[in-house]
């Protein structure tokens, strides 16, 4: 959105280029016009463990809190407290955006309430998205102004992508860089999602739409992707190495059963493929659930199951590598 309006931006942090690159760019800028105007930075919870008194964003967003990285943080309470360090150096007039209704997050944030203005994702003040009409309503904590953003032109699958676009728009407005909601409306139709995040790879010769959600590396993000496919009759690929879930007897995959029952079938693969298959079948999954030995075999089975539609780390360097292999196989199918 910022790039569309000609604002000089840096994108990086935990995602792509390190933030130190932005510092070097500013140090070597020949004029004020060459300076970065806005840095859009993803910060990981691991990075937030490092004390710093200089990292002070103008807008700070936590999109969610799910049972991830518990092999490091041990409990959701610790994880929430680490994430909320993002707000520790915000000044009073800066904007903090949090998901509504999460007890751990609200408790962790409470120690920073005097430092910033708070807006809620799906709360007031903040962002509320009507996923039926695809309209986001914004209410701003500083002014009380209410405005609306039409999201119907967004070229992405899934309600969570509409929510992400709405949060991005609200964040841009919160930067106070001379962009208003009417201007942002013109960007919605040209936005593109990042690779491996509910990315439509292709529609093949058989009319099958192949969707790559390889970034869904835990049960909760997989569930979010599944909810975005509610109107589709999909073949779902699940596999890899299941992540540790602290203080749980189950592996968490039973949470997917209700949403999987609307689909054509499930194919499991990878190191945890057998365990995922057993969990789903023991939990009462009624659609076909087949185990494949690897991703190539899973894609072949999916193609056959679809007519005549992915989180693992064992066979791949990372989720990007897995997504790239999936896309190659989909395009060859």
Residue 146 backbone phi and psi in degrees, to 5: -115, 130
Global pTM reads 0.79
CA distance 208 to 205: 7
Strand 9-13 vs strand 116-121: parallel, antiparallel, or unpaired?
Answer: unpaired
pLDDT at residue number 250:
63
Give Cα separations from 270 to 20, 220, 274, 282, 304 (angstroms): 37, 19, 8, 19, 20
- Contact between residue 100 and residue 122 where contact means Cβ atoms under 8 Å apart: yes
Instruction: Please give the order of strands across the beta sheet that includes 235-239.
Output: 235-239, 265-269, 289-291
Distance of alpha carbon 81 from alpha carbon 62, whole angstroms: 12
Reading the block at residue 219, the tokens are 């049960």
Residue 139 has pLDDT above 50, yes or no: yes
Integer Cα distance of 53 and 247 in angstroms: 34
Do β-strands 94-99 and 199-203 pair in parallel, antiparallel, or remain unpaired?
unpaired
Mean pLDDT of all residues in 62-72: 83
Confidence at 53, pLDDT banded by 50, 70, 90: confident
CA separation for the pair 202, 259 (Å, rounded): 24
Query: Strand pairing partners for 10?
Result: 39
Highest mean pLDDT among 184-188, 190-194, 246-250: 184-188
How many residues are present in the chain? 333
Work out the angle at residue 120's Cα, subtended by the Cα atoms of residues 116 and 125, and round it to the nearest 5 degrees: 80
Per-residue pLDDT band for 73 (boundaries 50, 70, 90) equals: confident
pLDDT score at 245: 56
Q: How confident is the model at residue 10 (pLDDT cuts 50, 70, 90)?
A: very high
Q: Quote the CA–CA distance of 314 and 151 in Å, as a whole number.
A: 37
Q: Which residue has the higher pLDDT, 33 or 101?
A: 101
What number does CATH give the domain 2-190? 3.40.1190.10
Q: Which of 22-36, 89-103, 126-140, 168-182 has the lowest mean pLDDT?
A: 22-36
H helix or E strand, kind and range, residue 105? helix 103-109
- For position 316, what pLDDT does the model report? 57
Q: Which fold has domain 199-308?
A: 3.90.190
Query: In this prediction, what percent of the chain has a pLDDT beyond 90?
Result: 42
Share of the chain above pLDDT 70, in %: 93
Q: Where are the alpha helices (DSSP H) in 96-215?
A: 103-109, 159-175, 181-185
pLDDT score of 56: 87
Q: Mind listing the pLDDT tens digit for each residue in 223-270?
A: 988 988 877 889 999 987 776 555 455 678 999 999 998 899 999 999
Range scoring the smallest mean pLDDT among 6-20, 81-95, 192-206, 239-253 = 239-253
- Catalogue the E-assigned strands of 67-186: 94-99, 116-121, 126-130, 135-139, 146-150
Burial class (CB in 10 A: 0-12, 13-18, 19+), 246: middle
pLDDT at 249: 56
Give mean pLDDT, residues 44-61: 88
Helix crossing, 319-332 with 295-306: angle to 10°? 40
Going from N- to C-terminal start, the domains of the chain cover 2-190, 199-308
Residue-wise pLDDT for 281-332, tens only, equals: 999 999 999 999 999 999 999 988 887 634 333 455 567 777 887 888 778 7
Per-residue pLDDT at 318: 61
């Amino acid at each position: 959105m910022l790039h569309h309006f000609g604002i000089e931006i840096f994108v990086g942090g935990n995602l792509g280029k390190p933030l130190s690159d932005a510092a070097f760019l500013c140090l070597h800028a020949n004029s004020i016009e060459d300076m970065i105007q806005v840095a859009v930075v993803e910060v990981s919870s691991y990075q937030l463990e490092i004390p710093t008194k200089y990292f002070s964003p103008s807008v700070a967003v936590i999109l969610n809190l799910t049972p991830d990285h518990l092999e490091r943080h041990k409990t959701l309470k610790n994880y929430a407290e680490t994430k909320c360090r993002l707000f520790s150096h915000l000044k009073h007039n800066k904007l903090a955006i949090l998901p509504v209704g999460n007890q751990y997050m609200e408790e962790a944030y409470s120690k920073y309430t005097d430092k910033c203005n708070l807006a809620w994702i799906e709360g007031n003040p903040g962002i509320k998205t009507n996923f039926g009409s695809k309209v986001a309503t914004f209410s701003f904590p500083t002014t009380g102004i209410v405005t609306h953003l039409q999201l119907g032109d967004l070229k992405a699958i899934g309600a969570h992508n509409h929510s992400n676009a709405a949060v991005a728009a609200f964040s841009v407005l919160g930067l106070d860089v001379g962009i208003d909601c009417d201007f942002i409306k013109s960007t919605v139709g040209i936005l593109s999602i990042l690779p491996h995040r509910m990315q439509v790879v292709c529609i093949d010769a058989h009319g099958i739409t192949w969707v790559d959600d390889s970034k869904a590396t835990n049960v909760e993000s997989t569930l979010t992707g599944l909810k975005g496919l509610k109107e589709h009759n999909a073949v779902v690929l699940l596999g890899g190495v299941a992540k540790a879930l602290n203080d749980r007897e189950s592996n968490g995959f039973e949470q997917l059963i209700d949403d999987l029952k609307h689909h054509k079938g499930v194919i499991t693969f990878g190191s945890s493929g057998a365990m995922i298959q057993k969990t789903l079948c023991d939990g009462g999954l009624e659609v076909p659930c087949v185990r494949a030995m690897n991703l190539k075999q899973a894609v072949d089975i999916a193609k056959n199951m679809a007519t005549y539609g992915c989180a693992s780390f064992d066979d791949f360097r990372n989720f990007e590598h897995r997504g790239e292999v999936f896309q190659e196989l989909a395009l060859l199918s």
